[in-house]
Amino acid sequence: MATVIMGACLAISIMVIVYMSQKNYENIDIYYWTIVILVPIIILGYWLKTRITTTEGALISFCYIYLDSTVLLAVILFCVLRFLGITPRRWVKVIVYTFTFIHLATFWLCIDNNLYYKKMDLIFTDMGTVTKMVSGPLKTVHWIYLLFVIGSILGVVIIAHIRKGTYSRRTLYLYTVLLTIGICVYVIETVFDVDFSCLPVLYVTADILVAHNYDHAHTHDISCLISEQQKYHSNRGYAAFDLKGCYLSSNHKIYDFLPELQMQIVDEPLEKDSYLAGIFYSLIDEFKNGTATSKIFKVKDLICQCEITEFSIRKDGRIQGYLFDIRDVTEEQKVIKVMQDYNETLNHEVEEKTENIRNIQERVVLGLANMVENRDSNTGGHVKRTSDIIYYIVNEIRRQGVYDLDDELADDIVRAAPMHDLGKITVDNNILNKPGRLTEEEYEIMKTHSVKSGEFVNLILKDVEEKHFVDVAYNVARYHHERWDGRGYPEGLVGEMIPIEARIMAIADVYDALVSKRCYKKAMGFEEAAQIMLEGMGTQFDPNMMSVFIGCRGELEKYYSADGNRGE
């Protein structure tokens, strides 16, 4: 009977390993996986112990069983320390593991002498083989080691209960109960010399409970929702809550916005009526009601925006909780406030001072454009130069008659040119001013500036400018990175789907980038730049612009030959 029970425990412990190995966790807890692999090996020793028929076989089974009171205990100690956020120094780990394996090796080397066990008798029963032993002198060393390791584990657990850190109480209580029961069972069985140990049943039960808790922790781990790079270095803060509003985890950056979250206990709800509850719980309620997905709040001098989404990392897609994304929008809000105040002023005076409004508006646009350039060390003077040279390009189009540009449209295109890169004000400085090549992720962020530029144009000009100019300025801002062959952004427009004003702006934008000096390159020669532009006709640029470019090339080169017009 005992053999059957031990065999069942062995089978279940192996099934736990197989089940957990199919989970594909992004982050692996090396201590947990060491424990879950050691358990079936130890239970194998107990199973063999009930089936052996010789003293030598019993000693060999004890070689497996002794892993629980040596290696397993050491790993449990470091596992508990890691859970509590305590990182022992490397030399401490080296000393503990060295003594552990020396202890284990000593027993293995003594199976053919009387140092550990002076005498061993085998009793054959219907339930299995019972082993009766008389301890040798080295057994005292084993007890000293056990007292030290078990005492260390209990001491750490007691300190954890007293300290009341932010770690999960659910996990702490689970570890406490399992360790307490395990130690009590071991002591009782040793004192009363029990024939068949209950430890394998406890091991497999603990294995199942810890595996379930481990799975719970990982299916709500913030590191599974964001990359490791974001977890430690992102400019955004992330926090996850379950559907009941219990705090699950967060990345380090969020503490810059909400330092109070550092004291929040995992798996427990936020304190009612607290500042944190006012942010997170109110947004959850609004999100459930469909009234809002974000909110603005202040932290000292910072203005922050908190956005909420549901998350799931389960294979069945079932929603597990809410993910909050917090970022600093101080600069953006200041710009929007300036724009809103500016629009209110313009609306108040529009009937009397139309021309004055237009002049003020252009100065604001140029000021915002210059603000963008002051942040972007790569494109100094770009706004002024493109605003100047687009005049030559538009005049050449009208002179050749390539497209029918009336006075109004021509004037609108020239006026709209300074607005084409306004959206860069929302791009992080680290990306905007990066001297080297952008990563794929950084390039995707950079590409958002064209959409933002269009949004800012509408925000600045809508209701205070004539619709025809707003449309032209919007098209210039949003679509000047589209390509004739459809490989541009943000919408991948093809051919004449791209507004004519955006196609014209693309010529000025790219040519200036080629012949101007940047922090990461020298100014390109006129011949080389012209060759690149001509090669791009029909792929990157409108092929009808070839004759236009050739026609105004002399004026463009003369302009850039003047002092200060190449960013040098």
Does one domain contain both 320 and 344? Answer: no
Amino acid at residue number 172: L
Nearest Cα neighbor of 500 from 403, 407, 433, 408 is 403
Q: What tokens does 259 get?
A: 């330092």
Residue 479: enclosing H or E segment and its boundaries?
helix 467-479
pLDDT (mean) for 320-345: 82
Return the exposure string of 187-223: e unless at least 16 CB atoms fall within 10 Å of the residue's CB, then b. Answer: eeeeeeeebbbebbbbbbebbeebbebbebbbbbbbb
Does one domain contain both 316 and 376? Answer: no
pLDDT, tens digit, for every residue of 58-78? 888 988 998 988 899 999 999
pLDDT (mean) for 274-278: 90
Residue 414: enclosing H or E segment and its boundaries?
helix 407-416
Which DSSP symbol is given to 260? G
Which of the two residues, 168 and 506, has the higher pLDDT score? Answer: 506
Do 293 and 206 contact (CB within 8 A), yes or no?
A: no
What is the SS3 assignment for 115? coil
pLDDT of residue 544 exceeding 80, the answer is yes
Task: Report yes or no on 30 lying in a domain.
Answer: yes
Task: Report yes or no on 568 lying in a domain.
Answer: no
- Which of these three, 304, 328, 352, is where a domain ends? 328
- Separation CA 249–CA 183 (nearest Å): 32
- Separation CA 449–CA 453 (nearest Å): 6
Alpha carbon distances (Å) from 207 to 79, 202, 274: 14, 8, 38
Task: Report yes or no on 566 lying in a domain.
Answer: no
Task: Report yes or no on 304 lying in a domain.
Answer: yes
Task: Report yes or no on 524 lying in a domain.
Answer: yes
Does one domain contain both 555 and 506? Answer: yes
Do 279 and 326 contact (CB within 8 A), yes or no?
A: no
Does one domain contain both 493 and 433? Answer: yes
Task: Report yes or no on 567 lying in a domain.
Answer: no
Does one domain contain both 314 and 336? Answer: no
Residues in the chain: 568
pLDDT, tens digit, for every residue of 286-309? 999 988 888 888 888 888 889 999
- Separation CA 438–CA 434 (nearest Å): 7
CATH number, domain with residue 425: 1.10.3210.10
Does one domain contain both 336 and 322? Answer: no
- Which of these three, 328, 355, 389, is where a domain ends? 328
pLDDT, tens digit, for every residue of 466-501? 788 888 889 988 999 999 999 999 999 999 999 999
pTM of the predicted structure, to 2 decimals: 0.51
Does one domain contain both 162 and 22? Answer: yes
Does one domain contain both 308 and 339? Answer: no
How many other C-beta atoms are found inside a 10 Å radius of the C-beta of residue 286?
15
Does one domain contain both 259 and 387? Answer: no
pLDDT of residue 26 exceeding 90, the answer is no
pLDDT at 377: 47
CATH number, domain with residue 239: 3.30.450.20
- Separation CA 284–CA 515 (nearest Å): 52
Nearest Cα neighbor of 100 from 78, 131, 67 is 67
Q: Containing domain of residue 387, as a range?
A: 332-561
Does one domain contain both 377 and 281? Answer: no
pLDDT (mean) for 549-562: 88
**Residue 30, burial from CB neighbour count under 10 angstroms (0-12, 13-18, 19+):** exposed
Q: How confident is the prediction for the chain on average, in pLDDT? A: 83
pLDDT at 229: 47
pLDDT at 455: 85
pLDDT (mean) for 337-363: 65
pLDDT of residue 217 exceeding 80, the answer is no
Instruction: Find all residues with CB under 8 Å of 173, minimum gap 6, and list them.
Output: none
Structural domains in the chain (count): 3
- Which of these three, 218, 240, 255, is where a domain ends? 218
Q: What tokens does 183 get?
A: 């130690």
Does one domain contain both 276 and 391? Answer: no
Does one domain contain both 374 and 434? Answer: yes
